[in-house]
Structure 1
Amino acid sequence: MNSAVMWGILGGLIAIVIGFLVISAILDRKKRKKAKAEQAEIDKIKNSAIGNLAIMVNLVVEKNDKKLEEFVPSVGKLKMSDINNLAKEEFKRVETINWFQYLKEEDILMENFYAIAKEKSNNWPKKNQEQIKYFKELEESLEKEKYKEFKRIQKSRLTRKYK
């Protein structure tokens, strides 16, 4: 009887260990599945944010170029500093938008964004051609239909701002 009790206890301990391992494996699998789903959601937001940023930069560059063409020194309504400030304000506003935080890890994108954002907008045609080309190519690689509404809204907002 002593031996039977001992085998029973040993069997119980083995069952507990096996049960613990099975439960641990199941919980680990659920945790990995949840982490994978969260990462997929973050990637989706990040990809959308990359598209949004490319569209925003291109719209600001486009509106800025138009203002620079219309600019008449000492005669026009706007001063050159006003044109430069409009672009700078817009880039600062973009940095405060909630989707911008997802782009901090994108080194090349951020390097190009900050290169344009730091430079005065009247110098972009001379000093930032590479960055302008980068964002144009980035926007061209996007699915147009997906960003159509975002682009329309931002274009309308920037048109009002740049009047």
Structure 2
Amino acid sequence: MADPRVPRRLDQQSGQQGRLRAEHRVGDAGRDRGPFQRLPLPLDVSTTPGIWLLRTAMVLLAAAALLSIGVVTPRMRDGGVRQDWPDNFTYFGHLRLWEPDALAARLRGADPLTSLSRQIVAMSQIAWRKYVLVRLSLLIAAIGAACTVLAGLLG
């Protein structure tokens, strides 16, 4: 029922505005915003720089994870092990092909210096590669974490 103190024309205008506001709210809630409209973001990021920083952080953190996987993934020498195993007895890939008695005899009669020096060089190359990958993954992860914090601060 209309208020008798308000002129009828003003009452009709305010009713139409209220109806328009209600339709706008309903229409806005039902609007399709793509496949990601209901996915919650870990941060409340609503600005464009914040969104790009968050995306950059996700890419950097994924790259850091992949680099760290490269550190712990073993490198096996499948191709050349079967050919040069009689001359090498320090690499576990070679040792698995030896019989215990034959290995003992070989160790008694051979000079292990050549095999040991080759294995030491190979192990140091592997250790250096792992060191570089760990260092790079930590650096990239730190930059990704900083991007995440910055995205949260920018909102």
TM-score, with length taken from structure 1 = 0.33
By relative contact order (CA 8 Å, sep 6+), the higher-ranking structure is 2
